[in-house]
Amino acid sequence: MAIRKIRLEGDAVLGKKCRPVEKMTDKIHVLVDDMLETMYESNGVGLAAPQVGILKRVVVIDVGDGPLVMINPQLIESQGEQTGDEGCLSVPGVAGQVTRPNYVRVQALDEEMQEIEIEATELLARACCHEIDHLDGIMYTALVEDGLHPVSNEEE
């Protein structure tokens, strides 16, 4: 495993749409392991492959319940609303208020390319939306309602 370099806002790779993973390979297993290690090292709760410069639909999340790996995730249902602070490892040192669904259902593949479905609320729902947005080149800073403010610890 290795720590990968996190791309920062302004890097063109973060604005691009990622391609689906067609087939699990050793390379993608290594990518997943590296993404988890990179996320934990930065105390993030989520990381998407474009943040380490790879334009593939791969996401890792850990909101404190253990690692969640999602390949080709798709938001299939959302309900309700939550407004709260959001941050991103690609935009260090700041956060901003974003409104997201309070409940989501996500279909994805796991690392064995088996279908999984995740039901999520609150922080996990927010993290799923934030990370899936990354795969479509959308940064949370484009969704912030009241501007960015400085924070001491980074998230997502």
Nearer to Ni ion, 96 or 108 (CB): 96
Q: Which two tokens stand for residue 89?
A: 């490892």
Determine which helix (DSSP H) or strand (DSSP E) holds 127, and give its type and residue range: helix 122-135
Q: Kindly state the smallest distance separating residue 155's Cβ from Ni ion, in Å.
A: 9
Does residue 131 have an active-site annotation? yes
Among 16-24, 34-42, 84-92, 142-150, which window interacts with Ni ion (CB under 5 A)? Answer: 84-92
Q: Which of 28, 35, 49, 88 binds Ni ion (CB under 5 A)?
A: 88
Q: Kindly state the smallest distance separating residue 94's Cβ from Ni ion, in Å.
A: 12
Q: How far is CA 120 from CA 11, 39, 68, 107, in A?
A: 30, 20, 12, 11
Residue 123: partners with Cβ closer than 8 Å, 6 or more residues away: 45, 63
Of 131, 154, 155, 156, the catalytic one is 131
Q: Kindly state the smallest distance separating residue 106's Cβ from Ni ion, in Å.
A: 16
Whose structure tokens read 């999340």? Answer: 61
Residue 20: partners with Cβ closer than 8 Å, 6 or more residues away: 56, 57, 72
Rg (CA), the chain: 14
Count, residues near Ni ion per rule CB under 5 A:
2
Among 86-94, 100-108, 113-121, 142-150, which window interacts with Ni ion (CB under 5 A)? Answer: 86-94
Active site residues: 131
- Residue ranges in contact with Ni ion by CB under 5 A: 88, 156
